[in-house]
Structure 1
Amino acid sequence: MNVLNRSNIESQIDIKEIRKALKWACDGFEDINYLEIESQVNSIYHDKITTKEIQKSLIDISLNLTSIEMPKWRIVAARLLIWELYKEIQHQRKNDFFGYGNYYEFVKNSVERGFYDSKIMKIYTKEELETAGTFINPKYDLDFDYAGANMMINRYIIFDEDKPFEMPQELFLTVSLFIASVEKKENRLNLAKQVYNSIAGRKISLATPILINLRKNSGNLSSCFVTAIDDSLDSIFYNINSIAQISKNGGGVGVNLSRIRAKGSSIKKTPNASGGVVPWIKIINDTAVAVNQLGKRAGAVTPAIDIWHLDVEDFLDLQTENGDQRKKAYDIFPQLVVSDLFLKRVEKNEDWTLFDPHEVKTKTKIDLSILWGDKFEKAYINLEKNSELKLTKKISSKGFMKKIMKTMIETGMPYLFFKDRVNELNPNKHDGMVGSGNLCQESFSNFRPTEIKNISLNGDKIVQESKSGLIHTCNLVSLNLANIDNDDILKSSAKLAVRILDNTIDLTFSPIEESNLHNNIYRTIGVGAMGLADYLALKKSPYEKSQHIIDEIFEKIAYNVLEGSLELAKERGKYQKFDGSEWSKGILFGKDEKWFIENSDFSDKWVELIKDIKKYGIRNGQLIAIAPNTSSALIQGCTPSVLPIYSKFYIDKNSKGTVPICPPYIKENFWFYKENKNMDPKNVVKIISGIQKWVDQGISMELLFNLNLDIKAKDIYDTIMTAWKTGCKTIYYTRTIQKNGNISEKNECVSCAN
């Protein structure tokens, strides 16, 4: 194609520029020739075509060339997109150079225009910011594939109205400087450099609220919140306001409603006055829609209810297609809190009794919502014998289990939260209990409702008295196992992840005081993982046969994360509620010293760690949580979380076009990326349960049932029971592949996407 023979001189200049971009985008790929693209674009040229239009065509052609055999074309497309970003930035800043420039001047301009928090100019000197500018490595921009580059530009970098203002490495470096800002002055730049190279080099992935908000003037940095509502009108609306504030600031919310009286319960001794939990859930649903997350999308809330609650049948129907539409709530994510006793009765095909929490508490002084384990079973069985209780209902446990399964297949939910397992392994059970999980079912710790007492007039002020509750609050990062290929990198990355999150606690300020109190008391963090399927593919190990390899790496992660928190405790002090915790007794992840001696390949290290933890404590009350991180895995260029891949290659179609998605090492390791849809779900569950024994919080475990494989109800039942019996704490979405090939979908939470 002789495009340079065209008579229009301006077009010739454009074509030279385009050819330059093509060479840059294909640089380093010996098996890719940029002329393959150029040969396809002759038909699009016309007299009035712009360089930008040509650039878009080149990107589209690169995406169309992407295949399992030639996956690098998606990286070429990403580089062409980054090139276009560079050109726009050059034009916006009126630079006479291409790419990254004077970082100090950029930061100064960003502060003056209100895009960056002015604290950065007060914390760091001009000389320090100039030194920091030398950390920027533009080559990191070349590592994006198209899906990652597109998401980075459209979701994370700052825009000035409709024009990009910031470049990816400026984002990463500035966030790193803020993370390091709480360190001692002599350590700040060194830590900032470590953080920058870890996040820009795609070894550590920051959660969305951190990456979006940290450099800005205000904003929440925490991903996960869980609260509880007491059985009063004041508490209900107090918490609805809390949910709105958290959603406004980009957090996903879990809210436990098990204390609220059931439909038909009395109000002020008036029988049959209560409408139950469903009307309040509808208000929560509408609040989530009305108060969006950072202007990006509707808020995300998971209401939870215990399986003994009298309204649980209506709760299960919240999103089904049939029934009274006035009782539906389609924008929330229902969560069912399941006790061991219920599942034992399902196995024995025994009856299950539903109770009104208000009547139980009024007549017996028992609050079932705070009980678990043996105490729950004893209280529950006694309540079944109590003839004074009138608002009860006996149902078939097995019949109700069938309804749960049917609803999961039909709607993808409810999530299942195995309450007894969670609390049995709760390291802070000396200070409370865990009633339900967060939006993605991987993060949870002690929480309790604020008790609203009196509202009175004091002069010209209205004073509200209350006893503060706690809202579970957690910040998240993930280790990208696809890019961590030896124990030294794993150790340094895990410890750095702990320091990043502990620093983030000191930098964030939640809009809810109960959340700030939780941060102060527990300093809960959630170090997670992604790219496990890639890690296994590189080791030529099929997912289903990799239990030993997986167990080994997650034991190392657990050890290094704990050691990192121990080192911080020595430096900064232990968390407030350490004394009396399981950690303080030398019980780590539910295992004592004897267990490690008998079962670990490096038991000597564990024994020494237990000794040091008893002596010095740890900085963080809970430490590990594995989020779904579907979105941030695109930025990281790896497979999400710890589940097997859904598909080796697929086209993601959305309003902005079609994007090819495939794992990073697919060409060389095709046969070692086995797809989830072709696996027995029980085998996947067993792998996740193996990881769970090294995770003190939870794992966002999705169940996937391929209905083309003759899946029966018993298979679904066996999978759920396997999850419970093998020690999983939660079940996140249930997805199905229909016989038409479509997979069931549900939007994910931006914040908990990590």
Structure 2
Amino acid sequence: MLFDTQEQAIETSISDSNKSSNHVENSSNSIKVVKRSGRLADLDISKIRNVVNWACTDKDVNAIALEAGLKTRIRYGISTREIQDNLINCALEMCNIDEPDWRYVAGRLSMWSLWKEILVSRGYNYGDYAKTVQSFVEAGKYDDRILVYSQAELETANGWINPDWDLDYDYAGTVLLTSRYLLPDELPQEAFLTCALLLASEEAPENRLHYAKKFYEAIASRRISLATPILANLRVPNGSLTSCFIISMEDNLESIYREITNTARISKNGGGVGVNVSRIRATGSAVMGKKNASGGVIPWIKLLNDTAIAVNQGGRRAGAVTVGLDIWHLDVPEFLEMQTENGDQRRKAYDVFPQLVITDEFMRRVKNKQSWTLVDPLEVREKLGYDLPLMWGEEFEKAYQDIEANLDTVIKLYKQVNARELFKHIMRSQVETGMPYLWFKDTVNKANPNKHDGYIPQGNLCQESYSNVTSGQYAHCCNLVSLNLANLEQQELEEVCTLAVRILDNTIDITNPPFTDAKNHNNRYRTIGVGAMGLADWLAKRELRYNNLQEISNLFEDMGFYCTQASMKLAQERGAFDAYEGSDWSKGLLIGSRPVEWYKANAYSPERWQILADDIQKYGIRNSHITAIAPNTSSSLVQGCTASILPVYSRFFYDKWAKGTVPIAPPYINDKVWFYQENKNLDQTMVVKTTGVIQQWIDTGISMELLFNLNEGVYYPSEPERALKAKDIFDTLIMAWEEGCKAVYYVRIVQKDNFKDECTACAN
């Protein structure tokens, strides 16, 4: 194994012996290096050569070039740590689209440094996992729930560790893994194994090791990616594992401040939260009988904004809050201006992420250039009895028409605008800031299997996860993993989907929700989100492109089926989610709350869907929502694949990090380069169509980003002076709604056309 060579290199590099017959040419042993112990020793180039050759093994690079590049940087008194850093920098500098494998060499050298530091720090590397567990528990680093396993079981688990998997990371992946996820003195495979053991701790004692091994192998071989809260927090005492939350404010002080406190609790534990404010009365509404006294939603949003800054996840980063407002709310125009520089700064909120909750009726009026009425929810509720935020579909449309029929006579506080002009205002904000997100309320709620038990008010922070929310009772919360399609073969998909569902269902019982409403939601709905990343790699590997919609549909049909089937089988074993009776699942409806007949007409393998529907009606289903595709922007770098289902931004580019510029490239760039379609040049209608096809098989949502290149000739090679127009962006956003996409996440804009040497300027 490569690891054996590395162990020998480490042993050689920390040996007290300085004997070597191969010193730097013409040095006469005059160059001294500073060891980590602080003492001077003769430089031995053979040790460096061994490490260089090891790092370059099975990669398409010239090891001699790396060694030669290092020699110009060696000086008297250089430390061994500096030598290692210089090797890494040399490898990074040689990395380009023609020799992309240097990023893996830099990753191995960075991992080698980690191995060596831990060897020096604690006296051993891999090989004594039970000892690591015991010392970490005693030091308060590991949750003592790991001690449910005996010494003998931990020693058995030690035998599963495969250190060679540490060598699969490129430099970006290694840096993110070590800086963001590993604990002090912890090795990568120890982190993955501990997560796997804890995830399996909910299994029956006789099955724990069986599932722990399967979980470990899927996680460590990068076929399943744990969401950041799980990978970062599962091992530590009292860690919260939930990625996504949604809460809703009622129109009273008690509810508002309760949900602000809940936002703080979520932020403290590193979760992202969506806060719906649509029920709060509008600016100019009455307060305690006094007309024109309300300041509207903006002051409360500002409090959420400041809470996100103040409760900064233990100093790691500001909290992440998306605030949702229904498109009919009277405060929508000011909501769209709350992040601009002009105006009253006391009514600005620059650190939240705005989203608009869009109804089908509004989109139809946008298309038809009709008027749209903005109203105050309090006045509508008090005078006409309609609680608009809770309504969607035909019920909303009938109520809205009645409201418009009573303007001036009953409803006094309103404003009428042109729907298309309002949509253009939204687009201008998206071009400038990337937001607001657009969340299609009717599309989502039609597909909600729990209509019998409530409604979904808005999307989560990344627009892929949502379920019923009841203020003061149920707060949406969801745990996430993603399948790494770059590393999966077709024959593995069923097993990996089954493992992913089991991992997340176990996570529900392991996690510590930060407040009662979240715990209640977990118990009632057991919402999970199995996602996917690396679709661009999956396509390139098979020499397919984003217009191969049938192949993409078949892939996600399989994923949707296997995940749903796995949840049904868990229900056989553990019981259905509490709100199952009366749900669309219980009525024989499947993903998207569609009847079996739809699957018989649209699935490539229709027979199995009828069997699945029958089984769900017989046994129930364990999780009310099962699949959701997150953006995975950072975790995909750790996984060594492209993010989510999106095309790769660029086939090769350098990203600017705190540690300098870091090369980014997809895994199959060497031999499949031309099958990677670059998103910066790709017509975004293709992204929308692809997302729409995938959404058919995903029961929650997809974080769909759109990237519009404003440079001339990009989309129209035959017309070099033609650039994208506002109408083109407008048509694409309308298409997203028409194609059944549930949300539009960020809208990003490319403003420069120098991709070789400069970072492209994108909104956000």
* Aligned with 2:570 (options 568, 571, 576): 568
Please say if residues 18 and 51 of structure 1, whose CA atoms lie closer than 8 Å, have aligned partners that are also in contact.
no
Percent identical among aligned pairs is: 53
Say if 2:147 is the partner of 1:147. Answer: no
Say if 2:415 is the partner of 1:412. Answer: no
* Aligned with 2:735 (options 722, 745, 749): 722
Q: Aligned partners of 1:527 and 1:226: how far apart in 2? A: 18
Q: Aligned partners of 2:225 and 2:649: how far apart in 1? A: 21
Q: Look up the match of 1:250.
A: 270
Q: Secondary structure at the match of 1:630?
A: coil
Say if 2:136 is the partner of 1:102. Answer: no
* Aligned with 1:683 (options 686, 689, 693): 686
* Aligned with 1:131 (options 153, 156, 171): 156
Q: Look up the match of 1:300.
A: 320
Say if 2:629 is the partner of 1:600. Answer: no
Q: Secondary structure at the match of 1:641?
A: coil
CA offsets, 1:523-578, max 9 Å, x none? Answer: 000000000000000110122x2101100000000000011101100000011111
CA offsets, 1:122-168, max 9 Å, x none? Answer: x1000000101111000000100000000001100012xxxxx1010
Say if 2:91 is the partner of 1:62. Answer: yes
> 1:174-573 to 2 correspondence within 5 Å?
174-386=194-406, 387-450=409-472, 469-486=473-490, 488-543=491-546, 545-573=547-575
Q: Aligned partners of 2:632 and 2:683: how far apart in 1? A: 23
Q: Aligned partners of 2:245 and 2:457: how far apart in 1? A: 13
Cα distance change, pair 310–706 in 1 and its aligned pair in 2 (3 A): same
Q: Aligned partners of 1:613 and 1:642: how far apart in 2? A: 29
Q: Aligned partners of 1:711 and 1:410: how far apart in 2? A: 16
Q: Which amino acid aligns with 1:600?
A: A
Q: Which amino acid aligns with 1:104?
A: A
Q: Secondary structure at the match of 1:669?
A: helix
Please say if residues 266 and 273 of structure 2, whose CA atoms lie closer than 8 Å, have aligned partners that are also in contact.
yes
Q: Aligned partners of 1:634 and 1:101: how far apart in 2? A: 28
Q: Secondary structure at the match of 2:274?
A: strand
Q: Which amino acid aligns with 2:475?
A: I
Q: Secondary structure at the match of 2:65?
A: helix
Number of equivalenced pairs = 717
Please say if residues 279 and 378 of structure 2, whose CA atoms lie closer than 8 Å, have aligned partners that are also in contact.
yes
Please say if residues 31 and 77 of structure 2, whose CA atoms lie closer than 8 Å, have aligned partners that are also in contact.
no
Q: Aligned partners of 2:26 and 2:603: how far apart in 1? A: 66
CA offsets, 1:451-500, max 9 Å, x none? Answer: xxxxxxxxxxxxxxxxxx210000000000001122x2111000100000
Q: Aligned partners of 1:359 and 1:106: how far apart in 2? A: 63
Cα distance change, pair 743–32 in 1 and its aligned pair in 2 (3 A): closer
Q: Look up the match of 2:36.
A: none
Q: Which amino acid aligns with 2:263?
A: I
Please say if residues 431 and 763 of structure 2, whose CA atoms lie closer than 8 Å, have aligned partners that are also in contact.
no
Q: Look up the match of 1:631.
A: 634
Q: Aligned partners of 1:307 and 1:735: how far apart in 2? A: 22
Q: Aligned partners of 1:277 and 1:601: how far apart in 2? A: 48
Q: Aligned partners of 2:44 and 2:179: how far apart in 1? A: 26
Q: Aligned partners of 2:80 and 2:47: how far apart in 1? A: 8
Say if 2:675 is the partner of 1:672. Answer: yes
Cα distance change, pair 744–275 in 1 and its aligned pair in 2 (3 A): farther
Q: Which amino acid aligns with 2:72?
A: S
Please say if residues 649 and 660 of structure 1, whose CA atoms lie closer than 8 Å, have aligned partners that are also in contact.
yes
Q: Aligned partners of 1:256 and 1:57: how far apart in 2? A: 50
* Aligned with 1:584 (options 583, 586, 601): 586
What TM-score do you get using the length of structure 1 for normalisation? 0.93
Q: Which amino acid aligns with 1:7?
A: S
Q: RCO higher in 1 or 2 (8 Å CA, sep ≥ 6)?
A: 1
- CA offset at residue 7 of structure 1? 2.8
Q: Aligned partners of 1:366 and 1:595: how far apart in 2? A: 34
Q: Aligned partners of 2:617 and 2:533: how far apart in 1? A: 31
> What are structure 1's unaligned runs of at least 5 residues?
160-164, 451-468, 748-754
Q: Look up the match of 2:105.
A: 76
Q: Look up the match of 1:25.
A: 55
Please say if residues 479 and 528 of structure 1, whose CA atoms lie closer than 8 Å, have aligned partners that are also in contact.
yes
Q: Aligned partners of 1:507 and 1:4: how far apart in 2? A: 60
> 1:36-55 to 2 correspondence within 5 Å?
36-55=65-84
Q: Aligned partners of 1:4 and 1:426: how far apart in 2? A: 73
Please say if residues 572 and 619 of structure 2, whose CA atoms lie closer than 8 Å, have aligned partners that are also in contact.
yes
Q: Look up the match of 2:138.
A: 112
Q: Look up the match of 1:738.
A: 751
Q: Aligned partners of 1:449 and 1:720: how far apart in 2? A: 31
CA offsets, 1:168-202, max 9 Å, x none? Answer: 00000001000000001111111111111111100
Please say if residues 29 and 42 of structure 2, whose CA atoms lie closer than 8 Å, have aligned partners that are also in contact.
yes
- Which structure 1 residue ranges, 4+ long, deviate > 6 Å from structure 2? none
Q: Look up the match of 2:120.
A: 91
Q: Secondary structure at the match of 2:247?
A: strand
- CA offset at residue 40 of structure 1? 1.1
Please say if residues 287 and 293 of structure 2, whose CA atoms lie closer than 8 Å, have aligned partners that are also in contact.
yes
Please say if residues 676 and 704 of structure 1, whose CA atoms lie closer than 8 Å, have aligned partners that are also in contact.
yes
Q: Aligned partners of 2:102 and 2:119: how far apart in 1? A: 26
Q: Aligned partners of 2:481 and 2:515: how far apart in 1? A: 22
- CA offset at residue 323 of structure 1? 3.0
Q: Secondary structure at the match of 2:325?
A: strand
Cα distance change, pair 261–550 in 1 and its aligned pair in 2 (3 A): same
Please say if residues 4 and 12 of structure 1, whose CA atoms lie closer than 8 Å, have aligned partners that are also in contact.
no
Please say if residues 31 and 75 of structure 2, whose CA atoms lie closer than 8 Å, have aligned partners that are also in contact.
no
Q: Look up the match of 1:461.
A: none
Q: Aligned partners of 1:743 and 1:71: how far apart in 2? A: 20
Cα distance change, pair 743–227 in 1 and its aligned pair in 2 (3 A): farther
Say if 2:45 is the partner of 1:7. Answer: no
- CA offset at residue 725 of structure 1? 0.5
Q: Aligned partners of 1:745 and 1:181: how far apart in 2? A: 44
- CA offset at residue 740 of structure 1? 5.7
Q: Aligned partners of 1:725 and 1:253: how far apart in 2? A: 27
Q: Which amino acid aligns with 2:474?
A: L
Q: Aligned partners of 1:5 and 1:606: how far apart in 2? A: 76
Q: Which amino acid aligns with 2:451?
A: K
Q: Look up the match of 1:642.
A: 645
- CA offset at residue 398 of structure 1? 1.2
- CA offset at residue 327 of structure 1? 2.0
Q: Aligned partners of 1:45 and 1:65: how far apart in 2? A: 18
Cα distance change, pair 294–133 in 1 and its aligned pair in 2 (3 A): farther
Cα distance change, pair 714–539 in 1 and its aligned pair in 2 (3 A): same
Q: Aligned partners of 2:343 and 2:26: how far apart in 1? A: 64
Q: Aligned partners of 2:202 and 2:150: how far apart in 1? A: 15
- Between 674-683 and 553-562, the greater mean CA deviation after superposition: 674-683
Q: Which amino acid aligns with 2:51?
A: A
Q: What is the CA RMSD across the aligned residues, in angstroms?
A: 1.3
Q: Aligned partners of 2:642 and 2:280: how far apart in 1? A: 41
Q: Which amino acid aligns with 2:132?
A: F
